[in-house]
Amino acid sequence: MNNRLALSLEDARKISAAAETEASRNNWPVVIAVVDDGGHLVHLLRLDNTQFGSIEVAIQKARAAIAFCRPTKIWEEHITEGRLRYLGLPGTLPIEGGLPIVAGGRFVGAVGVSGVRSHEDAQIAQAGLDALLIPE
C-alpha cells in the first residue's frame, strides 16, 4: 500500500479555479500552471488576452518552486540584494509568482502564475493555494 501524498487533477483544478477568480476579480490576464512533485504539468489555464510568452514563464515558475521547495520570490530577493550568482543556478527563475504546495508536511507540487507584475502573480498563486485545504 502506498501512503504517498500526491497532487490530484481535482486539486490542481481547485487551485486554478481560485487563482482564476482572483485574477478575474482584478482584470489581470494571466497563465496559471500547476505541476506535481516531479515538475510535470498537471493543469494549465490561460486567461483571455494573455500574451503567449507567459505560458512557459508560468510553467517554469512552478517548476522552480517545486525543484527547490521554496517560493520563487526568494531568488528575486537574492538578485535584488546583488547576489547575482543565483542567476547561474540551473532551474531557478528569479521572478515572484511560483509557490510550492505542501501537504502533510511534504512538497507535492507547485503553482506558477505569469502575466502581470510579479507581486500580483504571487497574489493570484496564493489565492489558489488558499482554496485548497491541505492537512499539515
The answer as to whether 61 is a domain residue is yes
Residue 104's domain is classified under what CATH number? 3.30.450.150
Number of domains comprising the chain: 1
Segment (H or E) for 103: strand 98-103
The grid cell for 5 is 501524498
The answer as to whether 93 is a domain residue is yes
Query: What would the pLDDT profile of 94-106 be if each residue is shown by its tens digit?
Result: 999 999 999 888 9
Query: What would the pLDDT profile of 67-85 be if each residue is shown by its tens digit?
Result: 999 999 999 999 999 999 8
Domain, as residue range, for 22: 9-130
The answer as to whether 3 is a domain residue is no
The answer as to whether 2 is a domain residue is no
The answer as to whether 136 is a domain residue is no
The answer as to whether 19 is a domain residue is yes
Q: In angstroms, rounded to a whole number, what is the distance separating the alpha carbons of residues 101 and 119?
A: 18
pLDDT for 2 beyond 80: no
Measured at the alpha carbon of residue 23, what is the angle toward residues 77 and 40, in degrees to the nearest 5? 65
